[in-house]
Amino acid sequence: MPNIIQKNPKVLGGMPVIKGTRIPIARILALFGMNYTLHDIKKEFPQLSKYTKKDLEEIVNYAKRQLAY
């Protein structure tokens, strides 16, 4: 699992979230699916401003690997 993603049973019932936030990975994937850009996502979630495009691409790659199983 990429360093940007964490699972904690005490945070959103253990759903994968962006580390240090309560933002579900599924929400970010849904936004990418609706053609949001990185800029749009950062505007929606200002707490993600410290993350780079590469960081957020790790989320998409993580999801692809999970779906491959």
Helix (H, G, I), strand (E, B) or coil at 5: strand
CA distance linking residue 53 with residue 38, whole number of Å: 7
pLDDT digits (tens, 9 = 90+) for 23-58: 999 999 899 889 998 889 999 999 998 888 888 888
pTM recorded for the entire structure: 0.81
Could you give the domains of the chain? 5-61 (1.10.10.10)
| pLDDT the model gives residue 69 | 65
| pLDDT the model gives residue 8 | 93
Q: What is the DSSP letter of 69?
A: -
